[in-house]
Structure 1
Amino acid sequence: MSQNQFDQPRFNVKSYLNEFNPWHNIKIMHTNVPNDILAGITVAVIAMPLALAFGVASGLGAEAGMWAAICGGILVGLFGGSNTGVSGPTGPKVVQLAAIIAATKLASGEPDIVFAMSMVFLSGLICVALALMKIGRFIYYTPYSVVSGFMCGIGVIIILLEIPPMLGFATPNSVMGAIKQIPYDIMHEKPHALIVSLATFATILIWPRLTKKQWLPAPLMGLIVGTSLAHLLQFKDIEYIASMPVGVPHLYWPDFSRFGDMVGGAFALAGLCIFDSLLTCLVADNMTNERHNSDREIFGQGIANMGCGIVGGVTTATATMRTVANIKCGGKTGLASITHGLVLLALMLGLAPYASYIPMACLAGILLKVGMDIIDYRVLPVLHRMPFTDSICFWAVLILTISVDLLVAMGVGITIAFVRIVQELGQAYEQNVVNLNEISRPLPADVSMPEDLKEKVLKLRLEGPLFFGVSDTIYRTSSALVDYKYLIVRMARVPMVDMSGAYLLEDIIDKAHDQGATVFFTGLRPQVERTLNRLKVIEKVSEENCLATFNDAILRIQELESRQSDTEHQVEYEDVSRV
């Protein structure tokens, strides 16, 4: 065994798991204590009306949104990978969870809470497993057209779902249900509910223009105005939030007896959690000039969602609005997120009954603004000028997000973008075939080759990665390989080969051998040579015909021609001798 084999690094489990140690976040919490605490309190004020609204929208009740915000704030603050990220219930995840809950209701019409919480817990477990598999870096490969279509679709969903409660009716169970219900609701709207929702919405729009004070954010001001208006004018005919329990939450231990029914939804929630959280982390990175740890962020979200499943909270992810508010208020470490969670916990332990004074129409007004904020207004002015494939990708994701399923939309969008990239890569490199007479470069000085032989020596130059995406291009190029005795395949500009590329080379070699031709490889890179050796393609060429340069191949051909000539002369001499 060589010394190099002893020097190879071994996998260290302790070092591997150390990346997910909460000490990474704890050790920097003392560096910005006053600003982090103030930022955490401010973000809690922003988060409270959103958490209540998202809890109601999920179908599990306002308290479910609050417990999710508490778990997200405290647990992700400890285990997460972004110093400034703040987690809680988000629009995309709540929409997905609400659809699942609506489809799995009990015979009585009530939500199957044990099933829902077990699924949320399982989604957290999946996130932890994916974090340990180090999949976080792949967020950087998501095309912008997919992200934009996804966000616009989510925004449209939230807007459509909140129009009925703004008009005084129950929140629909699905987007299609909302579309069918909206015309009737408009014709039979309840004026008091519409007044409260529009007053809330208008306050959220106007308040930031009246004051720059961060300690009284627009969603909270909208909540105050809408609720006060409903009670001052004594609107008794509109719905209010049902009373929430005060004290410690009811615990739901995971029940996986219906594992087959919940695993699909759990993967959907986990996928959305990762996608939603890491996109927000990218926004935070751009604002702070820092770089988050994607795998640790996914791990933290997994822990938080497992906590949500136990305490009865809706699913959680890193929330853009809270994260941006945290950065604007001076938050720089996980202490701000933990403070935000502790403030909400204090509210749930003593002040939760006051939520029953909040009208449902008021929360609908808040969520309407959330839906409008999620839409990607950057891309709207250039929709008609998008590249064709980007346009297809955007509209496919948008339509599928609204009409089918969020995860399906993401999968289709990424697939379309992937096919486009493969197609462009396949056309980006020029592959060509020429014979020696068409080559401008001079032959080695010691090479003399008759013109008729030069016509029989072909050069196939390959460029770029040799993978399944370029197979068609190379196949069409190789179809020009006719009437030749020697084939030189130049590989110096091929950085990698996959199985499709390797077997394509094998087909070219077999075709050459069928014509009685000899094949040479030149300029093989070590990685490419290893792959071809493993797949036994090199065996068909032979090691001695794998050469460093094109000139070496020409010299090798001259050597083979000389041997053949000597052999022929020897045969002729023997024939003459016999005579």
Structure 2
Amino acid sequence: MFKLDTSNLRGDITGGITAGVVALPLALALGVASGLGPIAGLYGAIAVGFFAALFGGTPSQISGPTGPMVVVLAGLFASLSGSAELVFTAVILAGLIQVAFGVLGVGQYIRLVPYPVVSGFMTGIGVIIIILQLGRLLGHEPPGGTLGALGYLPTALASINFTALILGIGTLVIAYKWPSNLGKYVPGALAALIIGTLVGLTLEGLPKLGEIPTGLPDLHMPVFNQETIWLVLEAAVILAVLGSIDSLLTSLVADNMTRTRHDSNRELIGQGIGNTVSGLIGGIAGAGATMRTVVNIRSGGRERISGMVHALLLLAVVLGLSPLAAQIPHAVLAGILVKVGLDIVDWNYLSKAHRGPRWDLALMALVLGFTVFVDLITAVAIGVVLAALAYVKQVATLQLEAIKNLPDLPLSEEEKTTLDHLGPRVRLFDFGGPLSFGAAADLGHHVREQVKNGTSAVILNFERVPFVDVSAARAVETIAHDASASGRTVFLSGMNEEIIEVLTGLGVLNGLKPEQCQPTRAEAIRAASALIEKGESETKTSKKNDLGLNQAQPASS
């Protein structure tokens, strides 16, 4: 686990240095956006970047502070009235939860979040980042929280610091329009940071970062407060889930670029260790960072050494270059962060969404709205639940349509001959696969609609059904009771041992005679035929007897 692959050492060093240069302005900006300061962003980039690379399951991935994580941290920092120690406690707990996710094998399930939900909350996070930076672009320091920043906008617009606004917009333009040929040597974000800071030195009246602590960080042990424990725990869970999703999505990007396959659970363990250490040294939470990972891979990085080199470069900055960072204007970082927010917005999906399913677009918009105006955990929870319900409805519809009746079934010659002879007196239903609880709700109604007057026997064939749940078992019980109440007989065929065990345990088979449960469809058809012929024979005998009795009666005078 700890063995380092040095086969691509030169490329890994080059990729790590390039990724570190790109990460520097982002770490500073995201640290400021979190409310904990630029040094917390650097410490987070160092801790998560190094330990996630060392222990994680995606060798080429670069980890560090990301926009989604910072949005949660900023909200928590505002809710806790600026208590940094409680925020660091949430980061530590989030890391431990991620380690637990990896140990329990949760990684494979986190990736099952539907794309419209992922698109909605990522786009929402991009919108939040932009909203939070609008006040700083105008030369002000808005209050924490999305709604607070929006509410402060009229005040900021009433007294715009045009020097800060021009500098911030200029920084944004440089970050976007930096020539690609120069970007090979100096990334656009770093160029924007350097040029913006140098211009800012010649201007007055600009809010700046100010003094940044230097040297090695202090140890921050977790603290717990009875009044805020649930708030901290909730934030920790959100950070853990969001960071895990963010990291694994970035891992998929890295897989596509390197033609490799990452280890999801190991990646979560690595991210968890990185976040735990980050919280202990006073850093903000982080995750796999898509842009930095792409830069690393394109610069030659392939193995975990590249992520470790990126973190060590940032450590060197903390130990020696922080006085220079103190001169960076807030407007410059705001310009860079606006680009980060715009990059997070899922423009690719938004441009094509009108050509896709309307439900997916509505779900994405709903999650986007909840992300911006409520909170992330509510947005993701509602999105996943609604997506799951929609999927269950679609599957249930297909399952009910797959309940095939006589004309559509592939029958043997014997079965076909027997059923042709019996005609409407027997109705055969074949379940094409697993019976979900969604299909079970309408199963009884569907069967009743198909059963006509004159039907004496109903056959339910389970040969292609691997299992049933409680809902499906109750639906079968309802069908059996309805049939019995209307004078019909239900036959069950093709049940495997698991289905028999479930139906027996729930008492569904208690009211059925042994001959009503047959091992195959053919035998169930024969049993139904025998039952009908026996009933008709008894009816004929009864009529003959009645006729004989009537003929034997003397004529009345």
TM-score, normalising length: structure 1: 0.86
Partner residue, 2:278: 308
1:190 to 126, 138, 161: 161
Q: Map 1:105-504 onto structure 2 (within 5 A).
A: 105=81, 111-213=82-184, 215-231=185-201, 233=202, 235-258=203-226, 259-429=229-399, 430=401, 444=414, 454-480=423-449, 481=451, 484-504=455-475
Question: Matches of 1:556 and 1:296 in 2, distance apart?
Answer: 56
Q: Shift of the alpha carbon at 1:435?
A: 7.5
State the distance in 2 between where 1:572 and 1:412 align: 65
State the secondary structure of the residue aligned to 1:493: coil
* Per-residue deviation, 1:368: 1.0
- Distance across 2 between alignment mates of 1:544 and 1:254: 67
Q: Is residue 14 of structure 2 the alignment partner of residue 38 of structure 1?
A: yes
Relative to structure 1, the CA distance from residue 187 to residue 556 in structure 2 (aligned partners, 3 Å threshold; closer, same or farther) is: same
Q: Is the 8 A contact 1:435 1:457 kept in 2?
A: no
CA contact (8 A) 1:76 1:87 kept: yes
Work out the CA distance in 2 between the residues paired with 1:357 and 1:277. 32
Q: Confirm or deny: 8 A CA contact 2:127 2:341 kept in the other structure.
A: yes
1:70 aligns to 2:46 (yes or no): yes
CA spacing shift, 1:475–1:516, aligned 2, 3 Å: closer
Alignment pair present for 1:53 and 2:33: no
Q: Alpha carbons of 1:327 and 1:449: their partners in 2 closer, same or farther (altered >3 Å)?
A: closer
Give the Cα–Cα distance (whole angstroms) in 2 for the partners of residues 246 and 45 of structure 1. 19
Matched to 1:423, the amino acid is K
| Distance (whole Å) between structure 2 residues aligned to residue 86 and residue 450 of structure 1 | 68
**Alignment CA distance shift 1:64-1:441 (3 Å):** closer
The corresponding residue for 1:108 is none
| One-letter amino acid of the counterpart of residue 95, structure 1 | V
Post-superposition offset of 1:172: 3.4
Contact 2:65 2:285 in 1 (8 A): yes
Shift of 1:540: 4.1
Q: Do the aligned partners of residues 565 and 477 (structure 1) sit closer, same or farther apart at CA in structure 2, a change above 3 Å counting?
A: closer
Q: Secondary structure at the match of 2:221?
A: coil
Residues 485, 562 of structure 1: CA spacing in aligned structure 2 closer, same or farther, 3 A cutoff?
Answer: closer
SS at match of 2:14: helix
**1:375, distance to aligned residue in structure 2 (A):** 1.2
Q: Which residue of 2 aligns with 1:83?
A: 59
SS at match of 1:504: helix
**1:310-368 alpha-carbon deviations (Å, 9 max, x no partner):** 11111111111111111111111111111111111122223223221111111111111
Distance across 2 between alignment mates of 1:468 and 1:446: 32
1:183 and 1:562 mapped to 2: Cα distance?
86
Where 2:468 maps in the other structure, the secondary structure is coil
Asked if structure 2 preserves the Cα contact closer than 8 Å seen for 1:464 and 1:493, the reply is yes
Partner AA of 2:263 in structure 1? N
- Matched residue SS, 1:444: helix
* Separation (CA, whole Å) in 1 of partners of 2:361 and 2:416: 58
SS in 1 for 2:480: helix
Q: Retained in 2: the 8 A contact 1:168–1:193?
A: yes
Deviation at 1:177, TM superposition (A): 2.0
CA change 1:112–1:540 in 2 (3 A) is same
1:140 and 1:122 mapped to 2: Cα distance?
22
Q: Distance in 2 between matches of 1:64 and 1:433?
A: 63
Deviation at 1:541, TM superposition (A): 3.7
Deviations 1:444-489 (CA, angstroms, capped at 9, x unpaired): 39987997x6543222332332111112331321223465432210
What is the CA-CA distance between 1:290 and the residue it aligns to? 1.6
For 1:156 and 1:506, locate their aligned partners in 2 and report how far apart those are by CA, in whole Å: 52
- Is 1:553 paired with 2:556? no
Q: Which runs of 5+ in 1 are unaligned?
A: 1-22, 106-110
Mark the CA change 1:83 to 1:542 in structure 2 (over 3 Å): closer, same or farther.
Answer: farther
Q: Which amino acid aligns with 2:33?
A: A
* Cα distance between partner residues in 2 of 1:263 and 1:336: 33
Residue type matched to 1:46 in 2? V
> In terms of mean alpha carbon deviation, does 203-212 or 438-447 score higher?
438-447
Q: Displacement, 1:29?
A: 2.1
Q: 8 Å contact 2:493–2:520 — kept in the other structure?
A: yes
Task: Assess if the C-alpha contact under 8 Å between 2:491 and 2:528 holds in 1.
Answer: no
Question: Which SS does the other structure have where 1:184 is aligned?
Answer: helix
Answer whether contact 1:72 1:86 (CA < 8 A) is retained.
no
Q: Which residue of 1 aligns with 2:554?
A: none
Using a 3 Å threshold, how does the CA distance of structure 1 residues 533 and 383 change in structure 2: closer, same or farther?
same
- Are 1:389 and 1:417, in contact at CA under 8 Å, matched by a contact in 2? no
One-letter identity of the residue aligned with 2:9: V
Deviates more, 1:554-563 or 1:293-302: 554-563
User: Does the residue aligned with 1:211 lie in a helix, a strand or coil?
Assistant: helix
Assess if the C-alpha contact under 8 Å between 2:45 and 2:286 holds in 1. Answer: yes
Deviation of the 1:533 alpha carbon: 4.2
> What is the CA-CA distance between 1:530 and the residue it aligns to?
4.5
CA contact (8 A) 2:64 2:287 kept: yes
The 8 Å contact of residues 57 and 171 in structure 1, kept in 2 or not, is answered as no
How far apart in 2 are the matches of 1:560 and 1:519?
A: 11
Q: What is the SS of the residue equivalent to 2:463?
A: strand
- SS at structure 1 position matched to 2:121: helix
Structure 1 residues 192-213: Cα deviation after superposition (integer angstroms, max 9, x where no partner):
2123212222221221345241
The SS at the match of 1:463 is coil
Question: Is the 2:13–2:306 contact (alpha carbons within 8 Å) kept by the matching residues of 1?
Answer: yes
Residue correspondences, number: 543
CA distance, structure 2, for counterparts of residue 440 and residue 64 of structure 1: 68
Name the structure 2 match of 1:12. Answer: none
Sort the Cα spacing of 1:217 and 1:530 in 2 relative to 1 into closer, same or farther, 3 A. farther
How does the TM-score come out when normalised to structure 2? 0.90
Distance 1:444 1:122, change over 3 A: same
Residue type matched to 2:167 in 1? V
- Superposed CA RMSD in Å reads 3.0
Aligned mates of 1:382, 1:348 — CA distance in 2: 43
Post-superposition offset of 1:434: 5.7
1:104 aligned residue: 80
Provide Cα deviations, 1:158-203, integer angstroms capped at 9, x if missing partner.
1111111112111431222222222332332112212321222222
Identity of aligned residues (%): 38
1 CA distance for matches of 2:528 and 2:354? 57
Distance 1:370 1:439 in 2: 57
Q: Distance in 2 between matches of 1:82 and 1:278?
A: 9
Deviations 1:83-110 (A, max 9, x none): 11111110011011101110111xxxxx
